[in-house]
Amino acid sequence: MTELKNETEMRELAGKRALVTGGSRGIGAAIVRRLLDAGAEVLTTARSKASTVPEGAAFVEADVRTRAGAEALAAAARETLGGVDILVDNAGGALPFPSAGAIPDEEWQDQLDLNFLASVRLDSLLTPGMRERRSGAVVHVSSAAVPTSAPPFLHYTAAKAALENYSRGLALELASFGVRVNAVSPGRTATPGGEATREQWARLSEGPGQDNTAPPLGRDGRPEDIAEAVLFLVSDRASWLTGRNLAVDGGEFPAA
């Protein structure tokens, strides 16, 4: 009985079609692998293909920071998958700056395009199909650091705060159509990109640049920790959850 149950859980997304942005490395790649393991057909994207794109996933190059890039990706998703049942807006990231005043206008715009408007644009292109089918799940990947608004990443957390506010509103708009919208907010997670960002922060601050004390649960997060949360939110096990933000941070940050 246990073996049968485990096999059922492993294939709980069988027949589902998923699009994951920024899925070539780090947290995004872990999400892609977890959805594949659960039986979903997965298309992922990044600005350039990396050798770390999980085996079994379809891939298309796209720059989701632009409307044209989002439109091309949505068209590729329809052509490759025939439609999208699960959308994970994961693409994001930022470089640290020593102060808010040091952040140039073009960097603010880039952060809004990458960490907020990319999701808005892609959602607007793909959720109408979910509405018509009266079924679907969207997950926005935010950041557990949003409540702290740490100065080196103020542009990033401001964009992610906008994403969280929009996510709640979209959830209310789509709820009556059977489409669920939730967010997941990772804390400090052990990825090559995260490590590179912390090193840049350290150089800017001429010191450690960050409190290296482990989160209360005693370790940094793993990409798989975030992927497991995303799987839960897009699965039928979360069928009564919408408009929520699940912080996966080992207790590192205060609740919003």
**CATH number of the domain enclosing 55:** 3.40.50.720
DSSP 255: -
In a domain, 205, yes or no: yes
In a domain, 255, yes or no: no
What pLDDT does residue 221 have? 86
Domain with 6 in it: 2-240
Number of domains in the chain: 1
In a domain, 106, yes or no: yes
pTM of the model: 0.90
**pLDDT, one tens digit for every residue, the chain (256 residues):** 445 445 555 689 999 999 999 999 999 999 999 999 999 999 999 988 777 899 999 999 999 999 999 999 999 999 999 999 999 999 999 888 988 999 999 999 999 999 999 999 999 999 999 999 999 999 999 999 898 877 889 999 999 999 999 999 999 999 999 999 999 999 888 876 656 565 555 655 654 445 567 788 888 889 999 999 999 999 999 999 999 999 998 888 876 5
What pLDDT does residue 1 have? 43
In a domain, 78, yes or no: yes
What's the rounded Cα separation, in Å, for the pair 67 and 43?
Answer: 19
What's the rounded Cα separation, in Å, for the pair 169 and 158?
Answer: 17
What's the rounded Cα separation, in Å, for the pair 97 and 199?
Answer: 13
Residues with a catalytic annotation lie at 156
Instruction: Provide the token pair at 26.
Output: 């780090």
CA neighbor of 186 nearest in space, from 224, 136, 231: 224
In a domain, 159, yes or no: yes
What pLDDT does residue 211 have? 58
3-state per-residue secondary structure call for the chain: CHHHHHHHHHCCCCCCEEEEECCCCHHHHHHHHHHHHCCCEEEEEECCCCCCCCCCCEEEECCCCCHHHHHHHHHHHHHHHCCCCEEEECCCCCCCCCCHHHCCHHHHHHHHHHHHHHHHHHHHHHHHHHHHHCCEEEEEECCCCHHHCCHHHHHHHHHHHHHHHHHHHHHHHHHHHCEEEEEEEECCECCHHHHHHHHHHHHHHCCCCCCCCCCCCCCCECHHHHHHHHHHHHCHHHCCCCCCEEEECCCCCCCC
